Each structure stands twice: as structure tokens, then as C-alpha cells.
Amino acid sequence: MRIIGIDPGLQRTGWGVLDARDNRLSFVAHGTLTTDAKAALADRLVQLYDGLLKVLETWGPDEAAVEETFVNKNPTSTLKLGQARAIALLVPARLGLGVGEYPPNLVKKTVVGAGHAAKEQVQMMVKTLLPGSGNAGADAADALAVAICHAHHRQTQARILAAGARAMGGCR
């Protein structure tokens, strides 16, 4: 199963791809998409759309995971982040991928063990859990962390659904 994690942002959107086989995770690729800060909002959203589409077409993930938005003190910034996040959800969905969404605290707790871990801790654990990922920048490391979170939680969700299906099959 190939998973892409996306850490959305209007200025910088991090992305990270990993392969998950059983309990083993292996690094595939990562990067950061940047938009032209001087461009109009609509043009920046198109830049994000086109960039994410190219990444997805290049790496061919089976599923996607996107970090949920946290609310900033600045409502304008929160709104712009929400619009970038909408693009991060739209692109993989338009390609027919399942898209998981995870709050930042769950991502940090899954990867680091603490829901309020610092960015540096996330980067260090991503590097430890995904040898070969090198020195991913903060945005790409966050995206890889989202992909790791999805890999762990999708397995748990699949087991719960399978157990429920077995239980329902015995209740006929």
C-alpha cells in the first residue's frame, strides 16, 4: 500500500510518500510545494492543485492522508489555510483515492508519543522511523508523519471493521 501524506499550507504544502507492507514502513519520496506569495489567491490555489496533481501522478499512491486544520488567532490566516486544505483533499479525491484526515495532536502522538511534541521531535522521529528520508524540511517531515499516522490507524480501523463483519455474520 502506497500512502501520501499532505501537510497543507498556502505558502508551503509538504508532501511525503511511503510504502506500508504489514507492519513495515519504507520511505519513498518527499518534498514541499511553494506558491508565489505575490500572486492572487486563486492563482496560488491553482499552483497547489497543479503541483499536487503532478506529485500524485508521479508517485501513484493508493491512499492519501491530510492533516486537519487547527484554528489560528488570525481568522484570515485560518481561512486561507482552509482553502489550501480543500485543495489537498480535492486532488486525491478527484483521482479516486481514499482520503484520511487526522488532527495534528493525533499525528504527533502516533509518531512521537506526545500530542504536543515540537516540530523538531517530529522531524527526528520521522528520520528514525523512515531511514532514507534524510533531512526532510519541517513541512515534508510533517507530511511524512501524517502518512505514518494513516498507516497505523488505517490498519486498526480495518481490523475493527473486519471483526464487526465477522460478528455480524454470526448473528444471522
Catalytic residue among 19, 36, 67, 68: 67
Active site residue 63: no
Cell 463483519 appears where? 165
DSSP 56-79: HHHH--SEEEEEPPPPPSSHHHHH
Look at residues 106, 103, 91 and name the one whose alpha carbon lies nearest to residue 61: 91
Active site residue 7: yes
Active site residue 67: yes
pLDDT at 84: 95
The mean pLDDT value for 21-35 works out to 95
Look at residues 103, 116, 145 and name the one whose alpha carbon lies nearest to residue 128: 145
Catalytic residue among 19, 50, 62, 139: 139
pLDDT at 73: 79
Which amino acid is present at 16?
G
Tally of CB atoms within 10 A around 163: 10
Confidence of residue 155 (pLDDT cuts 50, 70, 90): low
The mean pLDDT value for 90-95 works out to 98
pLDDT at 161: 64
Tally of CB atoms within 10 A around 79: 13
Q: What rounded mean pLDDT belongs to the chain? A: 91
pLDDT at 1 over 80: yes
Catalytic residue among 7, 22, 62, 68: 7
Confidence of residue 23 (pLDDT cuts 50, 70, 90): confident
The mean pLDDT value for 134-150 works out to 94
Look at residues 139, 149, 143, 157 and name the one whose alpha carbon lies nearest to residue 102: 149
Q: Which residue has the higher pLDDT, 168 or 151?
A: 151
Burial of 78 from C-beta contacts in 10 A (0-12 / 13-18 / 19+): middle
pLDDT at 119: 83
